[in-house]
Homo-oligomer: A and B are copies of this chain.
Protein backbone atom coordinates (compact mmCIF):
# COMPACT_ATOMS: atom_id res chain seq x y z
CA UNK A 1 0.00 0.00 0.00
CA UNK A 2 1.41 3.39 -0.92
CA UNK A 3 -0.45 6.01 1.06
CA UNK A 4 1.31 8.67 -0.94
CA UNK A 5 0.05 7.49 -4.27
CA UNK A 6 -2.49 10.20 -5.06
CA UNK A 7 -3.18 9.04 -8.58
CA UNK A 8 -6.57 7.69 -7.58
CA UNK A 9 -7.62 10.49 -5.27
CA UNK A 10 -6.85 14.13 -4.66
CA UNK A 11 -3.24 15.17 -4.28
CA UNK A 12 -2.45 15.74 -0.66
CA UNK A 13 -5.54 13.99 0.65
CA UNK A 14 -5.69 10.90 2.78
CA UNK A 15 -9.34 9.93 2.64
CA UNK A 16 -11.07 13.13 3.57
CA UNK A 17 -8.09 14.49 5.54
CA UNK A 18 -5.17 16.65 4.57
CA UNK A 19 -5.23 19.26 1.86
CA UNK A 20 -3.84 22.75 1.74
CA UNK A 21 -5.72 25.44 3.63
CA UNK A 22 -3.41 28.41 3.38
CA UNK A 23 -3.80 32.08 2.54
CA UNK A 24 -3.56 32.80 -1.16
CA UNK A 25 -0.26 34.61 -0.60
CA UNK A 26 1.40 31.29 0.26
CA UNK A 27 0.05 29.28 -2.65
CA UNK A 28 3.08 30.01 -4.80
CA UNK A 29 5.44 29.12 -1.98
CA UNK A 30 3.73 25.87 -1.16
CA UNK A 31 3.62 25.01 -4.85
CA UNK A 32 7.34 25.72 -5.16
CA UNK A 33 7.94 23.52 -2.13
CA UNK A 34 5.83 20.74 -3.58
CA UNK A 35 7.68 20.83 -6.89
CA UNK A 36 11.04 20.78 -5.16
CA UNK A 37 9.96 17.98 -2.85
CA UNK A 38 8.74 15.90 -5.80
CA UNK A 39 12.13 16.36 -7.45
CA UNK A 40 13.94 15.32 -4.28
CA UNK A 41 11.74 12.29 -3.79
CA UNK A 42 12.32 11.21 -7.36
CA UNK A 43 16.08 11.68 -7.10
CA UNK A 44 17.86 8.66 -5.56
CA UNK A 45 20.92 10.83 -5.01
CA UNK A 46 18.96 13.10 -2.71
CA UNK A 47 18.04 10.20 -0.45
CA UNK A 48 21.61 8.93 -0.51
CA UNK A 49 22.90 12.35 0.54
CA UNK A 50 20.28 12.47 3.23
CA UNK A 51 21.24 9.07 4.64
CA UNK A 52 24.94 9.90 4.48
CA UNK A 53 24.37 13.18 6.29
CA UNK A 54 22.48 11.46 9.07
CA UNK A 55 25.09 8.74 9.34
CA UNK A 56 27.99 11.13 9.58
CA UNK A 57 26.37 13.81 11.65
CA UNK A 58 23.66 12.19 13.72
CA UNK A 59 24.90 8.64 14.23
CA UNK A 60 22.37 6.77 12.14
CA UNK A 61 21.55 3.95 11.94
CA UNK A 62 20.36 4.01 15.52
CA UNK A 63 20.37 0.51 17.02
CA UNK A 64 17.63 -1.79 18.23
CA UNK A 65 17.97 -2.80 21.87
CA UNK A 66 16.45 -5.99 23.24
CA UNK A 67 14.99 -5.28 26.67
CA UNK A 68 15.60 -8.65 28.23
CA UNK A 69 15.01 -7.53 31.78
CA UNK A 70 11.72 -5.80 31.12
CA UNK A 71 10.51 -8.67 28.94
CA UNK A 72 11.32 -11.16 31.66
CA UNK A 73 9.69 -9.01 34.31
CA UNK A 74 6.47 -8.61 32.34
CA UNK A 75 6.46 -12.27 31.40
CA UNK A 76 5.02 -11.88 27.93
CA UNK A 77 6.25 -10.69 24.57
CA UNK A 78 9.91 -9.99 23.90
CA UNK A 79 10.38 -6.24 23.88
CA UNK A 80 12.72 -4.48 21.45
CA UNK A 81 13.32 -0.76 21.31
CA UNK A 82 14.34 1.37 18.35
CA UNK A 83 16.81 3.86 19.76
CA UNK A 84 16.14 7.16 18.06
CA UNK A 85 17.04 8.75 21.39
CA UNK A 86 20.67 8.20 20.39
CA UNK A 87 20.42 10.72 17.58
CA UNK A 88 22.38 13.94 17.72
CA UNK A 89 20.25 16.47 19.67
CA UNK A 90 18.45 13.58 21.35
CA UNK A 91 15.44 12.72 19.25
CA UNK A 92 14.04 11.69 15.90
CA UNK A 93 13.31 15.35 15.15
CA UNK A 94 16.78 15.69 13.65
CA UNK A 95 15.88 13.31 10.80
CA UNK A 96 13.18 15.56 9.42
CA UNK A 97 15.17 18.68 10.08
CA UNK A 98 18.27 17.49 8.24
CA UNK A 99 16.14 16.41 5.32
CA UNK A 100 14.43 19.77 5.14
CA UNK A 101 17.83 21.41 5.46
CA UNK A 102 18.98 19.70 2.28
CA UNK A 103 15.72 20.64 0.61
CA UNK A 104 16.05 24.25 1.74
CA UNK A 105 19.49 24.34 0.18
CA UNK A 106 17.99 23.09 -3.05
CA UNK A 107 15.30 25.76 -2.81
CA UNK A 108 18.08 28.29 -2.57
CA UNK A 109 16.70 29.84 0.60
CA UNK A 110 18.94 31.24 3.29
CA UNK A 111 16.61 31.50 6.27
CA UNK A 112 14.63 28.96 8.20
CA UNK A 113 11.83 29.33 10.69
CA UNK A 114 10.30 26.71 12.89
CA UNK A 115 7.71 26.34 15.59
CA UNK A 116 8.54 24.37 18.70
CA UNK A 117 6.65 23.19 21.76
CA UNK A 118 8.92 21.16 24.00
CA UNK A 119 11.86 22.75 22.27
CA UNK A 120 13.12 19.51 20.81
CA UNK A 121 12.28 20.44 17.23
CA UNK A 122 13.59 23.95 17.77
CA UNK A 123 16.82 22.55 19.18
CA UNK A 124 17.19 20.26 16.17
CA UNK A 125 16.39 23.09 13.75
CA UNK A 126 18.86 25.47 15.38
CA UNK A 127 21.49 22.74 15.15
CA UNK A 128 20.77 22.10 11.49
CA UNK A 129 20.82 25.84 10.76
CA UNK A 130 24.24 26.15 12.40
CA UNK A 131 25.52 23.23 10.31
CA UNK A 132 24.01 24.55 7.05
CA UNK A 133 24.72 28.20 7.73
CA UNK A 134 21.08 29.32 7.62
CA UNK A 135 19.71 32.23 9.58
CA UNK A 136 17.28 30.75 12.05
CA UNK A 137 14.24 31.95 13.97
CA UNK A 138 12.39 29.68 16.34
CA UNK A 139 8.86 30.53 17.41
CA UNK A 140 7.89 29.17 20.77
CA UNK A 141 4.90 29.92 22.98
CA UNK A 142 5.85 32.20 25.86
CA UNK A 143 4.66 29.59 28.34
CA UNK A 144 6.96 27.04 26.74
CA UNK A 145 9.86 29.48 26.64
CA UNK A 146 9.44 29.94 30.36
CA UNK A 147 9.23 26.25 31.20
CA UNK A 148 11.65 24.86 28.61
CA UNK A 149 14.52 27.27 29.23
CA UNK A 150 17.23 24.62 28.79
CA UNK A 151 16.26 24.10 25.17
CA UNK A 152 15.97 27.84 24.64
CA UNK A 153 19.43 28.25 26.08
CA UNK A 154 20.88 25.78 23.60
CA UNK A 155 18.97 27.21 20.65
CA UNK A 156 20.30 30.65 21.41
CA UNK A 157 23.81 29.38 21.84
CA UNK A 158 23.53 27.57 18.54
CA UNK A 159 22.86 30.98 17.02
CA UNK A 160 19.08 30.89 16.62
CA UNK A 161 16.77 33.71 17.58
CA UNK A 162 14.04 32.38 19.84
CA UNK A 163 10.83 34.38 19.73
CA UNK A 164 8.39 34.02 22.59
CA UNK A 165 4.84 34.00 21.24
CA UNK A 166 2.51 35.86 23.57
CA UNK A 167 -0.78 35.03 21.83
CA UNK A 168 -3.44 32.45 22.53
CA UNK A 169 -2.48 29.76 24.99
CA UNK A 170 1.13 30.76 24.38
CA UNK A 171 2.01 27.18 23.51
CA UNK A 172 2.73 25.04 20.47
CA UNK A 173 -0.33 25.79 18.38
CA UNK A 174 0.24 29.50 18.82
CA UNK A 175 3.83 29.09 17.75
CA UNK A 176 2.57 27.39 14.59
CA UNK A 177 0.32 30.36 13.86
CA UNK A 178 3.18 32.74 14.42
CA UNK A 179 5.37 30.76 12.05
CA UNK A 180 2.68 31.05 9.40
CA UNK A 181 2.64 34.79 9.96
CA UNK A 182 6.38 34.99 9.47
CA UNK A 183 6.16 32.79 6.43
CA UNK A 184 3.47 34.84 4.66
CA UNK A 185 5.81 37.80 5.00
CA UNK A 186 9.22 36.30 4.30
CA UNK A 187 8.58 33.33 2.03
CA UNK A 188 10.89 34.71 -0.63
CA UNK A 189 14.04 33.71 1.25
CA UNK A 190 12.58 31.68 4.08
CA UNK A 191 11.71 28.02 4.38
CA UNK A 192 9.36 26.90 7.12
CA UNK A 193 10.73 23.77 8.78
CA UNK A 194 7.54 22.23 10.09
CA UNK A 195 8.35 19.83 12.90
CA UNK A 196 5.84 17.06 12.50
CA UNK A 197 3.74 15.28 9.89
CA UNK A 198 1.01 17.92 10.12
CA UNK A 199 0.19 21.15 8.32
CA UNK A 200 -0.61 21.67 4.67
CA UNK A 201 0.44 19.26 1.95
CA UNK A 202 3.25 18.38 1.22
CA UNK A 203 4.39 18.63 4.84
CA UNK A 204 2.69 15.48 6.12
CA UNK A 205 4.08 13.49 3.22
CA UNK A 206 7.48 15.15 3.34
CA UNK A 207 8.03 14.79 7.07
CA UNK A 208 6.82 11.20 6.87
CA UNK A 209 9.24 10.53 4.05
CA UNK A 210 12.21 11.81 5.99
CA UNK A 211 11.14 9.93 9.10
CA UNK A 212 10.64 6.72 7.15
CA UNK A 213 14.34 6.12 7.66
CA UNK A 214 13.43 4.92 11.16
CA UNK A 215 11.14 2.21 9.85
CA UNK A 216 13.46 1.21 7.02
CA UNK A 217 16.28 0.63 9.46
CA UNK A 218 14.06 -0.99 12.07
CA UNK A 219 12.57 -3.56 9.70
CA UNK A 220 15.98 -4.71 8.55
CA UNK A 221 17.36 -4.72 12.08
CA UNK A 222 14.48 -6.77 13.45
CA UNK A 223 14.96 -9.37 10.77
CA UNK A 224 18.65 -9.51 11.50
CA UNK A 225 18.49 -9.36 15.27
CA UNK A 226 15.29 -11.17 16.17
CA UNK A 227 15.12 -13.26 13.06
CA UNK A 228 11.65 -12.04 12.18
CA UNK A 229 9.29 -9.09 12.16
CA UNK A 230 7.64 -7.89 15.34
CA UNK A 231 3.99 -8.68 15.99
CA UNK A 232 3.26 -5.17 17.15
CA UNK A 233 4.96 -1.80 16.84
CA UNK A 234 4.32 1.00 19.32
CA UNK A 235 5.03 4.70 18.92
CA UNK A 236 3.87 7.83 20.65
CA UNK A 237 1.81 10.28 18.63
CA UNK A 238 2.09 14.03 18.94
CA UNK A 239 1.79 15.33 15.44
CA UNK A 240 2.65 11.81 14.39
CA UNK A 241 6.06 12.05 12.78
CA UNK A 242 8.01 9.48 14.74
CA UNK A 243 5.10 7.08 14.57
CA UNK A 244 4.73 7.54 10.81
CA UNK A 245 8.47 7.08 10.62
CA UNK A 246 8.59 3.68 12.22
CA UNK A 247 5.20 2.45 10.99
CA UNK A 248 6.20 2.92 7.36
CA UNK A 249 8.67 0.09 7.77
CA UNK A 250 5.82 -2.31 8.48
CA UNK A 251 2.82 -1.04 6.51
CA UNK A 252 2.74 -3.94 4.11
CA UNK A 253 3.44 -6.56 6.74
CA UNK A 254 1.21 -8.47 9.07
CA UNK A 255 2.26 -6.24 11.93
CA UNK A 256 -0.12 -4.42 14.23
CA UNK A 257 0.63 -0.71 14.54
CA UNK A 258 -0.28 1.10 17.73
CA UNK A 259 -0.10 4.83 18.31
CA UNK A 260 -0.05 6.10 21.86
CA UNK A 261 -1.42 9.58 22.50
CA UNK A 262 -1.21 11.92 25.45
CA UNK A 263 -3.95 10.75 27.82
CA UNK A 264 -3.19 13.59 30.24
CA UNK A 265 -5.62 13.38 33.15
CA UNK A 266 -7.56 10.62 31.44
CA UNK A 267 -10.70 9.98 29.47
CA UNK A 268 -13.47 12.42 30.27
CA UNK A 269 -11.09 14.90 31.86
CA UNK A 270 -10.91 17.20 28.83
CA UNK A 271 -7.32 17.71 29.97
CA UNK A 272 -5.56 15.52 27.46
CA UNK A 273 -4.29 15.49 23.90
CA UNK A 274 -5.85 12.30 22.57
CA UNK A 275 -7.37 13.07 19.23
CA UNK A 276 -7.99 9.53 18.11
CA UNK A 277 -7.83 7.31 21.19
CA UNK A 278 -10.57 9.27 22.96
CA UNK A 279 -13.84 10.46 21.43
CA UNK A 280 -13.44 14.17 22.09
CA UNK A 281 -11.96 15.31 18.79
CA UNK A 282 -13.89 16.13 15.64
CA UNK A 283 -12.89 16.90 12.09
CA UNK A 284 -11.93 20.48 11.39
CA UNK A 285 -9.65 22.74 9.41
CA UNK A 286 -6.90 24.74 11.06
CA UNK A 287 -3.22 25.45 10.75
CA UNK A 288 -3.37 24.68 7.08
CA UNK A 289 -4.94 21.23 6.96
CA UNK A 290 -8.00 19.14 7.68
CA UNK A 291 -7.91 16.51 10.39
CA UNK A 292 -9.25 15.58 13.81
CA UNK A 293 -8.87 18.48 16.20
CA UNK A 294 -9.67 18.89 19.85
CA UNK A 295 -12.13 21.71 19.32
CA UNK A 296 -15.53 22.87 20.43
CA UNK A 297 -18.75 22.73 18.40
CA UNK A 298 -18.00 26.06 16.80
CA UNK A 299 -14.57 25.08 15.63
CA UNK A 300 -12.50 26.92 18.20
CA UNK A 301 -9.69 24.88 19.62
CA UNK A 302 -9.84 23.50 23.14
CA UNK A 303 -7.10 23.63 25.68
CA UNK A 304 -5.07 20.44 25.58
CA UNK A 305 -2.75 18.85 28.09
CA UNK A 306 -0.08 16.23 28.38
CA UNK A 307 2.82 15.78 30.75
CA UNK A 308 4.85 15.52 27.54
CA UNK A 309 5.01 18.92 25.91
CA UNK A 310 5.75 17.29 22.56
CA UNK A 311 2.40 15.50 22.51
CA UNK A 312 0.41 18.46 23.76
CA UNK A 313 -1.12 19.51 20.46
CA UNK A 314 -4.65 20.03 19.11
CA UNK A 315 -4.36 18.13 15.82
CA UNK A 316 -3.00 14.91 14.45
CA UNK A 317 -1.50 14.18 11.10
CA UNK A 318 -4.12 13.60 8.42
CA UNK A 319 -2.58 10.29 7.42
CA UNK A 320 -3.33 8.88 10.86
CA UNK A 321 -6.85 10.28 10.78
CA UNK A 322 -7.31 8.22 7.64
CA UNK A 323 -5.51 5.09 8.85
CA UNK A 324 -7.58 5.29 12.01
CA UNK A 325 -10.80 5.37 9.98
CA UNK A 326 -9.57 2.38 8.04
CA UNK A 327 -8.60 0.51 11.19
CA UNK A 328 -5.01 0.18 9.98
CA UNK A 329 -3.52 1.78 13.06
CA UNK A 330 -4.89 1.34 16.56
CA UNK A 331 -4.75 4.35 18.89
CA UNK A 332 -4.46 4.19 22.64
CA UNK A 333 -3.81 6.83 25.26
CA UNK A 334 -1.34 6.87 28.14
CA UNK A 335 -2.17 9.08 31.10
CA UNK A 336 0.33 11.31 32.88
CA UNK A 337 0.28 9.01 35.90
CA UNK A 338 0.93 5.91 33.82
CA UNK A 339 3.78 7.68 32.06
CA UNK A 340 5.57 8.46 35.31
CA UNK A 341 5.33 4.86 36.44
CA UNK A 342 6.54 3.47 33.13
CA UNK A 343 9.43 5.89 33.10
CA UNK A 344 10.57 4.78 36.53
CA UNK A 345 10.25 1.15 35.56
CA UNK A 346 12.21 1.61 32.35
CA UNK A 347 15.02 3.53 34.01
CA UNK A 348 15.52 0.96 36.73
CA UNK A 349 15.05 -2.14 34.69
CA UNK A 350 16.97 -1.26 31.57
CA UNK A 351 19.01 1.89 32.18
CA UNK A 352 17.08 3.73 29.49
CA UNK A 353 15.58 7.17 30.00
CA UNK A 354 12.96 7.65 27.31
CA UNK A 355 11.66 11.15 26.72
CA UNK A 356 8.27 11.71 28.33
CA UNK A 357 6.81 11.66 24.83
CA UNK A 358 8.36 8.30 24.01
CA UNK A 359 7.35 6.92 27.39
CA UNK A 360 3.76 7.05 26.18
CA UNK A 361 4.63 4.28 23.74
CA UNK A 362 6.25 2.31 26.55
CA UNK A 363 3.09 2.60 28.67
CA UNK A 364 0.92 0.97 26.05
CA UNK A 365 3.50 -1.67 25.26
CA UNK A 366 4.00 -2.47 28.94
CA UNK A 367 0.24 -2.88 29.35
CA UNK A 368 -0.02 -5.24 26.43
CA UNK A 369 3.21 -7.26 26.58
CA UNK A 370 2.05 -9.47 29.48
CA UNK A 371 -1.06 -10.49 27.52
CA UNK A 372 1.08 -11.74 24.67
CA UNK A 373 2.99 -14.98 24.24
CA UNK A 374 6.66 -15.33 25.11
CA UNK A 375 7.34 -16.13 21.47
CA UNK A 376 5.78 -12.88 20.35
CA UNK A 377 7.77 -9.76 19.68
CA UNK A 378 7.01 -6.12 20.12
CA UNK A 379 8.98 -3.10 19.01
CA UNK A 380 8.77 0.30 20.69
CA UNK A 381 10.04 3.46 19.09
CA UNK A 382 12.08 5.43 21.62
CA UNK A 383 11.79 8.72 19.79
CA UNK A 384 13.87 10.71 22.24
CA UNK A 385 15.86 10.75 25.41
CA UNK A 386 14.53 12.09 28.65
CA UNK A 387 17.68 13.55 30.13
CA UNK A 388 17.07 16.75 28.20
CA UNK A 389 13.82 17.09 30.16
CA UNK A 390 15.22 17.06 33.65
CA UNK A 391 13.06 19.94 34.83
CA UNK A 392 9.91 18.32 33.53
CA UNK A 393 10.81 14.88 34.81
CA UNK A 394 11.96 16.14 38.19
CA UNK A 395 8.68 18.04 38.44
CA UNK A 396 6.72 15.01 37.32
CA UNK A 397 8.46 12.82 39.89
CA UNK A 398 8.22 15.62 42.46
CA UNK A 399 11.84 15.23 43.46
CA UNK A 400 12.55 17.07 46.70
CA UNK A 401 16.35 17.07 46.39
CA UNK A 402 16.10 18.56 42.94
CA UNK A 403 13.90 21.34 44.23
CA UNK A 404 16.28 22.18 47.01
CA UNK A 405 19.19 22.14 44.55
CA UNK A 406 17.34 24.67 42.39
CA UNK A 407 16.62 26.77 45.46
CA UNK A 408 20.30 26.79 46.34
CA UNK A 409 21.31 27.60 42.78
CA UNK A 410 18.88 30.52 42.72
CA UNK A 411 20.29 31.83 45.99
CA UNK A 412 23.80 31.55 44.58
CA UNK A 413 22.86 33.55 41.48
CA UNK A 414 21.10 36.20 43.56
CA UNK A 415 24.12 36.51 45.82
CA UNK A 416 26.41 36.91 42.79
CA UNK A 417 24.24 39.74 41.53
CA UNK A 418 24.57 41.68 44.75
Contacts and interface: CB of A to CB of B under 8 A. Distances in A.
Interface of A: 55-59, 62-66, 69, 83, 86-88, 90, 126-131, 133, 146, 149-150, 152-154, 156-159, 225, 344, 347-353, 387-388, 390-391, 394, 397, 399, 401-403, 405-411, 413-414, 417
Contacts of A57: 63, 65
Task: Name A's interface SS.
Answer: helix
A130 B349 contact: yes
17 contacts: A56-B66, A57-B63, A59-B62, A59-B83, A90-B387, A130-B350, A146-B408, A150-B387, A150-B390, A154-B353, A156-B401, A158-B351, A159-B348, A403-B413, A407-B414, A409-B410, A410-B411
A409 B2 CA distance: 48
Contact of A225 (B56, B83, B90): B56
Contact of A153 (B88, B127, B394, B411): B394
A86 B127 CA distance: 15
Nearest to A60: B63
Contacts of A344: 157
Nearest to A407: B410
A224 to B, nearest CB: 11
Contacts of A86: 58-59, 86-88
A406 B391 CA distance: 10
Contacts of A351: 126-131, 158
Nearest to A127: B351
Contact of A146 (B127, B405, B413): B405
A305 to B, nearest CB: 18
A353 B159 CA distance: 12
A388 B291 CA distance: 38
Contacts of A128: 351
A59 B63 contact: yes
B131 A69 contact: yes
Contacts of A414: 407
Contact of A401 (B131, B149, B347): B149
A310 B313 CA distance: 40
A403 B399 CA distance: 21
Contacts of A348: 130, 157-159
Given A65-B56, A410-B406, A347 B146 contact: no
A149 B387 contact: no
Nearest to A159: B348
Nearest to A64: B56
Contact of A56 (B55, B63, B127, B159): B63
A234 to B, nearest CB: 19
Contacts of A58: 63, 86
